[in-house]
Amino acid sequence: AQKVTQAQTEISVVEKEDVTLDCVYETRDTTYYLFWYKQPPSGELVFLIRRNSFDEQNEISGRYSWNFQKSTSSFNFTITASQVVDSAVYFCALSGFSAGGTSYGKLTFGQGTILTVHP
Amino acid sequence: DADVTQTPRNRITKTGKRIMLECSQTKGHDRMYWYRQDPGLGLRLIYYSFDVKDINKGEISDGYSVSRQAQAKFSLSLESAIPNQTALYFCATSEGDRDRGYTFGSGTRLTVV
């Protein structure tokens, strides 16, 4: 079975602070994908990033960056110079793809981290 | 039009009523999923279907049933709604190829009173 744990239930910061959202995962699959989604107050899920298990390069997209460390099974997300519009629930998710694996193709979510950015 | 459309967007129903949530997609994806979101629990998989003839239970299927009417349509039914089924429900699709992402609908907010 696969599992995703987001240690922080809620984080509160003041605008322009940097904030890191932690994500730790468990899987027996040899190939897997990791995702981050944002859920703003309107409720829809906004895709942020997908990373496969063979690509450990960190990625930066504007104020967002992701640190993937296979050795510690972590896929952390950092927002630099946070803004009020970053206030949302953020989900980390995992999809395993080993042939014959029971988790094949199913997306497992963490509990979510509620981020509040104050002006 | 949205790639994955869920109807209704919001619904209030009474305990014991049967209700159906519908999902249709224009992505041409074979795989479809129903998830439920509860505060503090993230999204949990209810049912999934890898093609029209393939239906599988997820981790929280009790009290729910599904129907895959066509490649593009996947409905979720609550045979006898109960208050603890109050939640935000998401439909999602994905391609069979492992290197593709998932497309989510906008969600259906269901309240059982």
Task: Convert the pLDDT of each residue in B59-106 to its tens digit.
Answer: 999 999 999 999 999 999 999 999 999 999 999 998 765 556 789 999
pLDDT score of A99: 63
Strands B19-25 and B10-13 turn out to be unpaired
The residue among B102, B109, B111 with the most chain A CBs within 10 A of its CB, best to mutate, is: B102
The answer, yes or no, to whether residue A103 has pLDDT greater than 90, is no
Choice among A26-35, A93-102, B12-21, B79-88 with the minimum mean pLDDT? A93-102
Q: State the DSSP code for A77.
A: E
pLDDT higher for A29 or A94?
A94
By the 8 A CB rule, do B28 and B73 touch?
no
In angstroms, what separates the C-alpha of B1 from chain A's closest C-alpha? 15
Helix (H, G, I), strand (E, B) or coil at B83: helix
* Interface test with chain B among A24, A45, A47, A94, by most B beta carbons within 10 Å: A45
What confidence tier does A59 reach under pLDDT thresholds 50, 70, 90? confident
pLDDT at B56 over 90: yes
Which range among A91-95, B27-31, B72-76 shows the weakest confidence by mean pLDDT? Answer: B27-31
In the predicted model, is pLDDT for residue B19 greater than 90?
Answer: yes
Please state, rounded to an integer, the average pLDDT across all residues of chain A: 91
For the cut 80, the answer to whether the pLDDT of residue B42 exceeds it is yes
* Single-letter amino acid code for the residue at B37: Q
Q: Tell me the average pLDDT across A21-34.
A: 92
Tokens for B56, please give them.
């599988």
Residues of chain A contacting B48 with CB distance shorter than 8 Å: 105-106
Q: Poorest-confidence range of A15-24, A52-61, B18-27, B48-57?
A: A52-61
| Average pLDDT value for residue range A93-108 | 75
Percent of chain B beyond pLDDT 70? Answer: 95
How large a percentage of chain A has pLDDT more than 90?
Answer: 72
Please judge whether B40 and A97 are an interchain contact, meaning their C-beta atoms are less than 8 angstroms apart. no
Residues 6+ apart with CB under 8 A from B93: B3, B4, B25, B27, B29, B31, B32, B33, B102, B103
Which of B51, B43, B61, B58 lies closest to B107 in space, CA to CA? Answer: B43
Cα B43 to Cα A61: distance, rounded to the nearest angstrom: 25
CB of B102 within 8 Å of any CB in chain A?
A: yes
Closest CA to B36 of B46, B23, B47: B46
Residue-level pLDDT at B2: 77
**pLDDT of residue B6 exceeding 60:** yes
- For residues A65-70, give the mean pLDDT: 94
Please give the mean pLDDT across all residues of chain B: 93
